[in-house]
Structure 1
Amino acid sequence: MEKLISKFKGIHPGIILERELKKKGLKKGPFALSLNEYPQTLNDITKGKRGITIALSIKLDQCLGLEEGTMFLLQAYYEIQKEKDKISLSNKPDLSIIRRILFWDTDFDNINWQKQYQAVVKRVMERGNDDEKNEIIRFYGKQKINEVKNLDNAFKRTIT
């Protein structure tokens, strides 16, 4: 089981379920009904739209001849991977969209996207293209963008 788990870590268990059903020549609808589950539920799982519960995992493991807990462990590893992806995305914007040349006077790889947000927002909003502006808005949110604009406007009023 460990070999199977490590091979499929982070993959939605529905993909593995679909593969197992094909390998055994089972159709999703009748298989779902044999488990006392709705065919739509199984279909959603195989398409990655829904997760596997503990109760369904037990049924699937028994019917497919897998070690108990296999499908649920795959679900858990998938959820862990999803959370890791979310965390890594939340630390910085999509850097494939932001041109490095915008920050010609800064070491781009050492920008602290959280602490230096005011400078980043100003720079991108002044000099960035539409894709870069949209990425910065997505990353920081409209509220934070407006906060920077309001601070900038207040500063401009004080010096004029």
Structure 2
Amino acid sequence: MEQRLDRYYGIHPGRVLERELKKHHLKKGPFAISIGEYPQVINEITKARRGVSPQLSLKIDHALGLEEGAFYLLQAHYEIDQVKKALKQSDAPSFRKALFWDTDMGKIDWQKQYKAVIQRIFERGTDEERQQVFDFYGRDKIMEVTGNDQIAGNTLPVMAHAKKR
């Protein structure tokens, strides 16, 4: 499984466990009992509500014929990925929550969803927030979304390219 593991890095080990159980045609309850665990524990793990401990990893690895520590390694990579995401969120600009009333600010991927963020800020944000988004994303992304990259008098013509239609 060592060669297959790297493609699962960053995915909760419970998702991988569920896939492995299906692949081996095993049901969660009987599998849990066979390794000396409560079925609820395995169910919580496969639903990504609980992590895999080193002890449980050894039991699962042995039962599925995998290398020792495989599921614990997946757990470690998942946790590292979560920390990276949290750090990326902390680097993100801080805007008023009122601008993003319709979404959870903690779930916004500031890099992937830059078009929507830039558009929202330039439609509803203050001059300071416009400058902050300009500083965060840079000229190229602002130009791509708004059609203009010049801030004159701390304002930017909003969606100039969209109004030409």
- Paired amino acid for 1:28: K
* Aligned pairs (5 A) from 1:1-160: 1-92=1-92, 93=94, 94=108, 95=110, 96-97=116-117, 99-101=120-122, 102=125, 106=131, 108-111=133-136
* Residues 13 and 71, structure 2, Cα contact 8 Å, conserved in 1: yes
Number of matched residues? 112
Q: Give runs of ≥4 in structure 1 deviating > 6 Å.
A: none
* CA deviation string 1:36-59 (max 9, x = no partner): 100000000000000000000001
Over the matched positions of the two proteins, sequence identity in percent amounts to: 48
Unmatched segments (≥5 aa) in structure 2: 95-107, 111-115, 137-165
Describe the SS at the equivalent of 1:66.
coil
Could you tell me the TM-score, scaled by structure 2's length? 0.61
Unmatched segments (≥5 aa) in structure 1: 112-160
Tell me by how many angstroms 1:103 deviates. 5.4
* Residues 2 and 67, structure 2, Cα contact 8 Å, conserved in 1: no
Describe the SS at the equivalent of 1:68.
coil
Which is richer in helix?
1
Q: CA RMSD in A?
A: 2.2
Distance (Å, rounded) in 2 between the aligned partners of 1:49 and 1:107: 36
Query: 1:136 — aligned with what?
Result: none
Query: 1:127 — aligned with what?
Result: none
